[in-house]
Amino acid sequence: MVETRFIQRITEGALALLCCAFSLFAQDEKELKPVTRTYAITNVNVVQAPGKKVDMATILIKDGLITAVGKGVTIPADAVVIKADSMYVYAGFIDGLSRAGVTKPKEEAGRDRVKDPGNPAPERAGITPQNDVRNSLNASDKLIEDLRNVGFTVAQVVPYGNLLPGLGSIVLLSGKSADQMVLISNSALYSELSGANGVYPNTTMAVMAKWRELYRQASQAKSYQSLYASNRIGLERPGSDRVLEAFYPVIDQRIPVLFKSEKMLDAHRIITLKNDLGFSLMLADVKEGWPVASKIKASGAKIFLSLDLPEEAKKDDKKSGGKSDKKADSTKAKEVTKPKTAADLERDALEKRKAEAIANYTSQASVFNNAGVSFGFSSLSAKPKDIPTNLRRMIAAGLSEDAALAALTTTPAQLLGLSDRMGTVENGKMANLVISDKSYFNEKAKVRYVFVDGVMYKQVVKEENLPAGQAGKSDPNAKVEIEGSWSTVTQTPQGSNDGKVTFKKDGSGYKGTISGGRMPAPADLTSVTLEGNKLSYSYSLSFGGNSIKVDVEATVEGDSFKGNASIGPRGSFSIEGTKNPKN
Amino acid sequence: MKKLFVLLFSSFILLGAMAQVDRGNLLIKNGTVITITKGNLEQTDVLIKDGKIAQIGKNITAPAGIKIVDASGHFVMPGIIDAHTHIALDGINEGTNPITPEVNESDVINPFQIGIYRALGGGITTVHAMHGSANAIGGQCETIKLRYGTFDPEVLKMDGAPRTIKFALGENPTRSHGEGSGIVPRTRMGVEFVIRQAFTEAKEYSEKWNQYNKSKLVKGFRGAPPSYSYRHEVLSDILNDKIIVHCHSYRADEIYMMLKVCKDFGIKRIVFQHVNEGFKVAPELAAQGAMASVFSDWWAYKFEVYYSTAYNAAILAKNGVVTSINSDDGEMMRHLYHEAGKTQKYGGLSDEEALALITINPAKQLGIDNRVGSLEIGKEADIAIFKNHPLSIYGVPMFTIVDGVIRFDREKDPDDMRLMVDPKQAIETATFRDKLSDQDHCMEGAEFILDSELFNANKK
């Protein structure tokens, strides 16, 4: 693998030398322009817009724009042809709120002690509406790639902070520099209802009071400035104020206020502010919006629902009797006949309510859709790799595929004022496209190509041993190799705990050692078994003469495993391992 | 500029109009009706129409289709009002500054708190959801009705109830700011100073605005408006009698100090909260029309609360001070009727006087006595129905009714009354040990040491 990459690099280098003698004298960093910016995607199912599909057509891309969509398109000689036989192409997805590419400030503002907590500097209070997110964009941030890999091409991004972190921009999930990324600057004034950690405004109620005061002061300052501009006689020269001036485009309704509104009560509170002050409003990262759908609709706010969902309730609990003990099988028969105790009934009732709650979160998008509220999606608090799964869960909970697609493409384009240039696969639109091998919402679908602004990103799809959809399941016939050193992360109520496990072949089986955590010295594993891809190992922790046995059971998949570490009856924690590269 | 501000403030008033409050129809049959203001009526019916009391009398004919509650042998009284609580709120103290009148609990009502339902279980129908006592001038409070079941915080608010604000004297503000941050106030003198200073600044602020608004009427006037301050706007509202002051206080000297401050700044409506030494200055309070909201017998939890007596409520009431008994506590709130009953043991108050402490008197202190606090025709149908007399130790609230809607029914009291369930929270159930006697008690109470070691081992 390493070798082939090396050879590839040499070849590329040689080609570059051949093509352009001047490059000998040019600087190493200088990028080569692509040979062509013309692409033809042939024989593909084009979903031009939700509900509008053209089968087996060709899409032509030239210089960053879609120049033709349909059948019988003549393919220019300079085009790179992508034979997308039976694949699906959609307009690139648009994300209403994200921090893709945004560098987190090194020092969390709000740790230093303030002399007079009632009157902190604006920066310490989280009041920096004049901050431009472009100043903290990093084009090589991994989140850009991660979001692009699941189909996103454009995102509205905002700075970090609490009350008024600053101005957002709409960016392409592509580009080599901050300025190359930016499509529209100052797209919204971003705000959160979160306090300033120990200084005024510390609580939500003070945040709201401060918001009102700043907005009214800004309205006042703005009026006075225009009065002064029209006739200076008899008036004091108005001073400059970066904080208040940042509100001016909001007061003029040239840009909206974009609020993070995760909880239902956040939405109520933000709409109260909007009603008090009259700005135009955008709500994003909405997770509990279903009971306030009509209020949000009445407020005229533009809305982006969160792509994060609570984890699904575990369904295998009952099968294993809630325990993963080896004894389970023998005691199972007895348990069945045992009447349920009061605690069992209580647990059942609580679990039922929890499952109902999870179902409510999952069906939020469907509720909004049925209520006739148009919405986009935002990825702010979602893990990119969960997004396709979460979309499928929303669809299973009643959202139509067309509505899901609309919320990823046409609706956000419209909400962000981008409909003229993106959101559909049409002649003249920006070449922002997602190509998947099956219909995007199919469980087995994989994204193969993403185009952002006409730049192609091809994805290498790993061929897996296990059939898709069965990943993670135990397979007694699987052949996996565990020998080597593994890094593990265990999730405990006190936080995550890193460790290191090493397995070595020992006759027909394995032996191993464990170190890390707060273990004083590496210890030998007391047992290691590997059946198919099912790995289990045990070891002892000792403290002041007491010894506690830890049992780990996990399923190995390639270079990683996932499972549980259980500590007698005291509890079971999830554990994940990754194989460390040799050397 | 004036137009702008008129616009800004008029938008304020429009709020709340959206909230959709449930109002019910109900006929309560054949109970002993304790009206509070007009004596007790035996074997009497109460008819509720559209959330209000429409008729009180014997053998009222039930309108077609109306829900009937049989109160035979039961006591029907006005819903209990608690003038000092911190329930249904996300955030109690903006403790960063000694003066924070601009913050408002109205903004952070949380209708999902289970404490609301528990309070209903104690016959409570209306509470004063207050800012805390960290600041000399704290935040504005909200009078809420316990319409538990709504998802909309606006619905909990008692629309049209007067604005109120929390003040605090003594150890809490001096500890928070003087000791905590090393700023004024560090002493009781300091507390008086910051309050007087705030009011003085507010007077200057409104004078500046008045002058500016007056000058603007003169043709050809040119000048800059004074700088807008939300804090001083609210302080001016206090000085202009638009907000009732509820002042946390314990000692007689500081209560008397605050009475003088009110006189100096023309503040007419003040309710002292806790007021443990109120009995020492009862005539002075009565003379100035100041009211008092006290605990029945809770004291000695800090130095300034040592000089206290269970006779406080009775002494204040007998001296003509409008007095209420409050809980300031989610647990005590559930038996405020017992707390009121203690004034019969300590002070010999009559049933009527004792019950007034938790009904019409707190209503007066919140400025809502024209709407709730007694059972009268035209008043809002907030009612508690008790098995046994509410002042009896055997008194048990059976039904709690808000605006004619039954919000608590002891016979239909499900286990799980949560409105919102956290989808990420781990399921926890109560565990019981059956055979305690069989177990080894050597390490009882010290298990946490073992556990903590275990958890430490798992930590990094």
Please judge whether A220 and B139 are an interchain contact, meaning their C-beta atoms are less than 8 angstroms apart. no
Q: Please report residues of A whose CB lies closer than 8 A to that of B100.
A: 118, 200, 206, 209
Chain B (308-327) residues lying within 8 Å, Cβ to Cβ, of chain A: none
Q: What is the DSSP string of B43-86?
A: EEEEEEETTEEEEEESSPPPPTT-EEEE-TTEEEEEPEEEEEE-
Token pair in block for residue A307: 């792509």
Q: What average pLDDT does range A358-366 have in this prediction? A: 98
The CA-atom distances, in angstroms, between B26 and each of A44, B48, B408 are: 67, 5, 14
Q: What is the mean pLDDT of residues B295-320?
A: 97
Q: Which of B99, B432, B458 sits opposite A490 (nearest CB)?
A: B458
pLDDT given at position B248: 98
Q: Which residues of B203-214 are buried (b: 16+ CB within 10 A; e: fewer)?
A: bebbeebeebee
Would the CB atoms of A291 and B151 count as touching at under 8 Å?
A: yes
Q: What pLDDT, on a 0 to 100 scale, did the predictor assign at position A462? A: 62
Q: CA-to-CA distance for A168 and A190, rounded, in angstroms?
A: 6
Domain of B72 in residue numbering reads as 22-79+373-419
Determine the residue type at A217: Q
Arithmetic mean of pLDDT, A425-449: 97
Is pLDDT above 50 for B154?
yes
Among the residue ranges A232-241, A512-521, B81-90, the one predicted with the least confidence is A512-521
Q: Are B339 and B358 in contact (CB under 8 A)?
A: yes
| Residue B396 vs residues A67, A336, A531, B334: alpha-carbon distances, Å | 78, 42, 64, 10
Q: Which residues of A touch B223 (CB under 8 A)?
A: 234-235
Residue of B nearest to A290 (CA): B151
Whole-angstrom distance, CA of residue B143 vs CA of residue B164: 8
- Rounded Cα–Cα distance for residues A61 and A79 (Å): 9
Query: Is B427 part of a structural domain of the chain?
Result: no
| Position B4 in a domain | no
Residues B333-359: what's their mean pLDDT? 98
Q: What pLDDT score does A2 carry? A: 45
Q: Are B350 and B388 in the same domain? A: no
Task: Say if B235 falls within a structural domain.
Answer: yes
Question: Choosing among B5, B103, B151, B424, which should be mutated to test the A contact, i.e. which has the most A CBs within 10 A?
Answer: B103
Burial class (CB in 10 A: 0-12, 13-18, 19+), A485: middle
Question: Which residues in chain B have their CB less than 8 angstroms from residue A236's CB?
Answer: 224
Domain end marker among B383, B401, B419: B419
pLDDT at A389 over 80: yes
Segment A526-543 shows an average pLDDT of 83
Chain A contact for B423 (CB, 8 A cutoff): yes
Strand partners, A169: A157
Average pLDDT value for chain A:
87
Q: Is A544 on the interface with B (CB under 8 A)?
A: yes
Whether residue A445 has pLDDT greater than 90: yes
A201 touches chain B (CB under 8 A): yes
Cβ distance B430 to A548 less than 8 Å, yes or no, reads no
Q: Are residue B63 and residue B202 in the same domain, yes or no?
A: no
Question: What pLDDT does residue B14 have?
Answer: 40
Angle at B406 between CA B404 and CA B412, to 5 degrees: 165
Dihedral sign computed on CA atoms, order A19, A21, A24, A28: negative
pLDDT value of position B439: 55
Alpha helices (H) in B240-281, listed in sequence order: 252-265
Same domain, residue pair B55 and B85: no
- Cβ atoms within 10 Å of B253's Cβ, excluding its own: 15
- Please state the rounded mean pLDDT for residues A208-216: 98
pLDDT given for residue A338 in this prediction: 77
Q: Are residues B203 and B300 in the same domain?
A: yes
Residues B84 and B64 in one domain: no
Residue (of B230, B235, B229) closest to B137 by Cα position: B235
Complex ipTM, two decimals? 0.90
> Of B349, B371, B393, at which residue does a domain stop?
B371
Q: Provide the number of structural domains found in chain B.
A: 2
Of A199, A269, A544, the CB nearest to B107: A269
Strands A257-260 and A281-286: parallel
Q: Does a structural domain hold residue B191?
A: yes
Q: B18 CB near a chain A CB, below 8 Å?
A: yes
Cross-chain residue pair B96–A209, CB shorter than 8 Å: no
* pLDDT score, position B11: 41
Across the range A148-157, mean pLDDT stands at 98
pLDDT for the residue A238? 95
On whether both B321 and B309 belong to a single domain, the answer is yes
Residue of B8 and B40 predicted with greater confidence: B40
Domain locations in chain A? 1-32, 36-91+425-461, 93-105+118-314+355-422, 484-579
β-strand pairing of A93-98 with A447-452: unpaired
Q: Check pLDDT > 90 for residue A440.
A: yes
Span of A451-465, B37-51, B215-229, B436-450 with lowest mean pLDDT: B436-450
Would an 8 Å CB–CB cutoff place A300 in contact with chain B?
no
- d(C-alpha B140, C-alpha B128), whole Å: 11
Report the CATH superfamily, name and number, of domain A484-579.
Quinohemoprotein amine dehydrogenase alpha subunit, domain 2 (2.40.128.120)
Q: Do B337 and B232 lie in a common domain?
A: yes
Question: Is residue B430, in this structure, part of any structural domain at all?
Answer: no
Q: Is there a contact between A490 and B457 if contact means CB atoms under 8 Å apart?
A: no
Same domain, B303 and B414: no
Strands A182-191 and A257-260: parallel
- pLDDT of the residue at A430: 98
Residue of chain B whose Cα is closest to the Cα of A546: B450
CA B399 to chain centre: 21
Closest CA of chain A from B159, distance in Å? 15
Q: Which of B208, B429, B451 to mutate to test the interface with A (most CBs of A within 10 A)?
A: B429
pLDDT band at residue A547 using 50, 70 and 90 as cut-offs: confident
| Inter-chain CB proximity A353 and B223 less than 8 Å | no
Contact residues on chain B for A361, CB-CB shorter than 8 A: 423
Q: How far is A581 from chain B (nearest CA, A)?
A: 23
Q: Which CATH code, of 3.30.43.10, 3.30.70.100, 2.30.40.10, 1.10.1660.10, is assigned to A36-91+425-461? A: 2.30.40.10
Q: Cβ distance B244 to B270 under 8 Å?
A: yes
**Helix, strand, or coil here: B207?**
helix
For residues B411 and B270, state if they share a domain. Answer: no
Determine the Cα–Cα distance for residues A438 and A441; give it in Å rounded to an integer: 8
pLDDT of residue A507: 82
Whole-number Å distance between alpha carbons of B138 and B97: 9
d(CA B386, CA B407): 14
pLDDT of residue A208: 98
Residue A469 has pLDDT above 50, yes or no: no
pLDDT digits (tens, 9 = 90+) for B367-393: 999 999 999 999 999 999 999 999 999
CATH, range A93-105+118-314+355-422? 3.20.20.140
Q: Please indicate, yes or no, whether residues B263 and B325 belong to a single structural domain of this protein.
A: yes
Same domain assignment for residues B139 and B256: yes
Q: At A470, is the pLDDT very low, low, confident or very high (cuts 50, 70, 90)?
A: very low
- Residue range B415-425: average pLDDT? 94
Task: Look at strands B243-249 and B163-168 and give their pairing.
Answer: parallel
B60/B35 same-domain check: yes
